[in-house]
């Protein structure tokens, strides 16, 4: 297991020039393929997520970026007829290895979905601490602290602190999405996977969540699927471009958006395609 | 909006769709026929049973304990109302958790092929005619219960707790408990199928969200699935109750048909549908026949209310499930 020894000045800012410095690999996919029945969803992807960095997955619809993202915390286990091949190394050990418990993996690698998935009948508070209660945390004070801390992190605390007991269904879409982020953060995951988290949100909520990512990455490693290239450029340190189930290239975001290596990446980024 | 549409547009629409018009009128007539049928049925039941209802009172008819068509010509439906309540509530209580278990297993736990078989069997058993259940009850279940459960219990009570005997009643095998058990068996597929549908309505993202938090299957049920399907499951129980209330044939065949109060656990009882089925052929007195029709009227109303309430709850749940999508 690698120790985090990222110097303080690293943490303050996901500065682009840092990409030349030695980054710490947090999660690494090796020759990862996902099959839907006989059809290939993504084929032989090799990609690393770096510790305390935001990596954006971009590419046209159906290119496999979401499929790939979902293979990183074994969400495909839940779907029949989906087969995953290859390795995903979390701090060096394969999450698909024998004897690995997917439930433990998902507690370390959280996920936020495209549509807000707050549990509508549970209260705001119960939503946030749902994951903590699952691991057996019952101590009122610690739950309260965790709820406040996660809601602060998700930039939602001020809006909901007076209605923690109200059902989550009463929140707006943008608030519900930040609530699911708070819920994912409450269990203190090491990695957060986000599947187009702002796709169904208004610009203001989108802004709130984008602002959030900059501070969040001080604690967690983030992978985010997005359709919005400006968003990828704004928030990510690294960008990976997927096309037809393949990883075309991945590099620091500044390089990807200025002088990508591959013609196809350039075509997509300049809007001539996709 | 429609008034402001240009008239030529509307005319041309009508012209091109004249076949559609005719068709929609025809199906509207057919559909209103169903509605009219229901209203007429309620009216006929009410007018047919109006005389005893007037004579004994709207509630008095239900709460009167004397049902004597021969000597006193007194008609109080309480023994049948009580029998109906006991059998249907009893059946619901006995069947609810097994049915819920079957639904959860079929919807969430069972491997795909097993789930297919379970779902098929649920639908099949729900479609078996109740007289078949009745025959099975008469020839297999009732004798079995009598020999292996009622009689031993009765004999044990006779030796060790004679105080219980008046509550146990005649262990002939044909009585209240047998009716409850057969009704429970009959409503299980009904409750289970409705619960399964309610569970299936829960959007997949809700489940995935729980899994993504590191939930086990049971935690996913607890956190994401059951809270959202709860109302639908309850509605299913309402509809199952409506079915149990009205179930006639199988109950009539095994309940022992006695309206002597107080009812005992093993002894004979009767329900509103069972007394109608039993007595209508020999109801020569007009008041007797009208009392049976009045029973039918009350049953109709209760079934109607249960179905409407159940239907409304299911609709609300579907809306809730859609709302969080």
The reply to whether CATH 3.20.10.10 applies to domain B59-323 is no
Closest residue of A to B111, CA-based? A80
What is the per-residue DSSP string for chain A? -PPP---HHHHH---GGGGGSPPPEEEEEEEEEEEETTEEEEEEEEEEEETT-EEEEE-STTSSHHHHHHHTTTGGGGSTTEEEEEEEEETTEETTSTT--HHHHHHHEEEE-SS----TTSBHHHHHHHHHHHTT---HHHHHHHHHHHHHHTT-HHHHTT-TTSBGGGS-HHHHHHHHHHHHHHT--SEEEEESTTTTS-HHHHHHHHHHHHHHTTTSEEEEE-S-HHHHHHH-SEEEEEETTEEEEEEEHHHHHHS-SSHHHHHHHTTS--
pLDDT digits (tens, 9 = 90+) for B176-222: 899 999 999 999 998 898 888 888 888 888 888 999 888 888 889 88
pLDDT tens per residue across span A212-270: 888 888 889 999 999 888 899 999 999 999 999 999 999 999 999 988 888 899 888 88
Residue B6 has pLDDT above 60, yes or no: no
Q: Does B324 sit within 8 Å of A187, measured CB to CB? A: no
Residues of B in contact with A106 (CB under 8 A): 211-214
A21/chain B closest Cα distance in angstroms: 33
Q: Which of A117, A135, A184 sits opposite B206 (nearest CB)?
A: A117
Of A110, A117, A134, the CB nearest to B205: A117
Buried b (16+ CB within 10 A) or exposed e, B70-104: eeeeebbbbbbbbbbebbbebbbebbbeebbebbb
Contact at CB, B213 and A187, closer than 8 angstroms: yes
Min Cα distance B104 → chain A (Å) is 16
Copy the structure tokens of residue B31. 């559909």
Residues belonging to chain B with any Cβ–Cβ distance to chain A shorter than 8 Å: 112, 205-216, 219, 223-224, 227-228, 230, 320, 323-325
Contact A168, A119 (CB under 8 A): yes
Which one-letter DSSP state was computed for residue B139?
I
pLDDT, one tens digit per residue, over A53-98 is 999 999 988 888 999 999 999 998 888 889 999 999 998 889 998 8
Give the pair of three-digit tokens for residue A249: 């290239």
Q: Which of A104, A113, A135 sits opposite B208 (nearest CB)?
A: A113
CB B214 within 8 A of CB A103: yes
User: What would the pLDDT profile of A173-221 be if each residue is shown by its tens digit?
Assistant: 888 989 999 999 998 899 999 999 888 888 888 888 888 888 888 889 9
The domains located in chain A, with CATH, are 23-269 (3.40.50.300)
| Size (chain A), residues | 274
Name the maximum alpha-carbon separation found in chain A. Answer: 56
Question: Virtual CA dihedral for A113, A117, A118, A120, nearest 10 degrees?
Answer: 180
Q: Rounded CA gap, A61 and A64, in Å?
A: 8
pLDDT digits (tens, 9 = 90+) for B132-186: 999 999 999 989 988 898 888 888 888 887 777 778 888 888 888 999 999 999 9
Decide: B206 and B224 in contact? Cβ < 8 Å: yes
Radius of gyration of chain B (CA): 25
Across the interface, whether the CB atoms of A180 and B209 are under 8 A apart is answered yes
Alpha-carbon distance A81 to A22, whole Å? 39
Interface ipTM above 0.90: no
Domain residue extents for chain B:
59-323
Cβ-defined contact of A134 to B112 (cutoff 8 Å): no
Chain B CB contacts of A107 under 8 Å are 213-214
For residue B69, what is the DSSP state?
T
Q: Tens digits of per-residue pLDDT, A148-182?
A: 999 988 888 889 989 989 888 888 888 898 999 99
Longest CA–CA separation in chain B, Å? 92
What's CA B163's distance to the chain center, in Å? 35
């Amino acid at each position: 297991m690698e120790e985090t020894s990222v110097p303080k000045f690293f943490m303050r800012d996901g500065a682009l020039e840092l990409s030349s410095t030695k980054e710490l690999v947090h999660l690494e996919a090796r020759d990862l393929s996902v099959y839907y029945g006989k059809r290939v969803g993504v084929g032989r992807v090799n990609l690393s997520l770096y510790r305390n960095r935001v990596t954006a997955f971009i590419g046209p619809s159906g290119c496999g970026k979401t499929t790939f993202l979902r293979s990183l915390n074994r969400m495909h286990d839940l779907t029949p007829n989906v087969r995953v091949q290859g390795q995903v190394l979390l701090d060096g050990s394969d999450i698909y290895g024998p004897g690995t418990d997917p439930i433990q993996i998902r507690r370390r690698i959280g996920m936020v979905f495209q549509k807000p998935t707050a549990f509508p009948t549970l209260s705001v508070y119960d939503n946030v601490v749902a994951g903590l209660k699952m691991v057996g945390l019952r101590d009122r004070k610690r739950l309260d602290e965790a709820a406040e801390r996660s809601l602060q992190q998700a930039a939602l605390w001020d809006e909901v602190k007076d209605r923690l007991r109200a059902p989550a269904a009463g929140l707006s879409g943008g608030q519900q999405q930040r609530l699911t982020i708070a819920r994912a953060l409450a269990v203190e995951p090491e990695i957060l996977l986000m599947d187009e988290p702002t796709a169904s949100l208004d610009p203001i909520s989108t802004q709130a969540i984008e602002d959030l990512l900059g501070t969040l990455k001080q604690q967690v490693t983030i992978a985010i699927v997005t359709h919005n290239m400006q968003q990828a450029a704004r928030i990510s340190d690294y960008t990976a471009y997927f096309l037809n189930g393949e990883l075309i290239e991945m590099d620091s975001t500044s390089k990807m958006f200025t002088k990508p290596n591959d013609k196809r990446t350039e075509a997509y980024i300049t809007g001539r395609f996709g | 909006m429609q008034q402001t549409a240009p008239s030529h547009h509307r005319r041309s629409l009508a012209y091109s769709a004249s076949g559609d018009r005719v068709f929609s009128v025809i199906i509207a007539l057919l559909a209103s026929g169903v509605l009219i049928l229901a209203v007429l049925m309620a009216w006929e039941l009410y007018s047919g049973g109006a005389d005893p209802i007037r004579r004994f009172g709207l509630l008095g008819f239900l709460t009167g304990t004397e049902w004597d068509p021969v000597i006193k010509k007194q008609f109080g439906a309480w023994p049948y109302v009580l029998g109906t309540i006991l059998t249907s509530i009893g059946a619901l209580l006995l069947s609810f958790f097994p049915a819920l278990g079957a639904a959860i297993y079929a919807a969430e736990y069972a491997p795909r092929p097993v789930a297919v078989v379970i779902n098929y069997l649920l639908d099949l058993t729900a479609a078996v005619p109740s007289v078949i259940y009745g025959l099975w009850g008469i020839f297999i279940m009732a004798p079995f219960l009598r020999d292996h459960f009622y009689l031993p219990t009765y004999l044990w009570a006779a030796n060790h707790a004679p105080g219980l005997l008046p509550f146990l009643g005649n262990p002939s095998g044909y009585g209240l408990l047998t009716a409850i058990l057969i009704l429970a068996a009959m409503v299980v597929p009904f409750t289970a199928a409705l619960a399964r549908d309610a569970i299936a309505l829960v959007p997949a993202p809700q489940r995935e969200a729980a899994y993504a938090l590191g939930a086990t299957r049971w935690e996913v049920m607890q956190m994401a699935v059951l809270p959202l399907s709860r109302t639908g499951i309850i509605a299913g129980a309402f509809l199952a109750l409506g079915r149990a209330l009205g179930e006639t044939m199988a109950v009539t065949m095994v309940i022992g048909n006695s309206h002597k109060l107080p009812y005992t656990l093993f002894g004979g009882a009767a329900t509103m549908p069972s007394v109608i089925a039993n007595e209508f052929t020999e109801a020569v007195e007009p008041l007797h026949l009208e009392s049976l029709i009045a029973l039918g009227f009350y049953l109709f109303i209760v079934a109607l209310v249960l179905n409407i309430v159940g239907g409304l709850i299911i609709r609300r749940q579907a809306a809730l499930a859609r709302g969080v999508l």
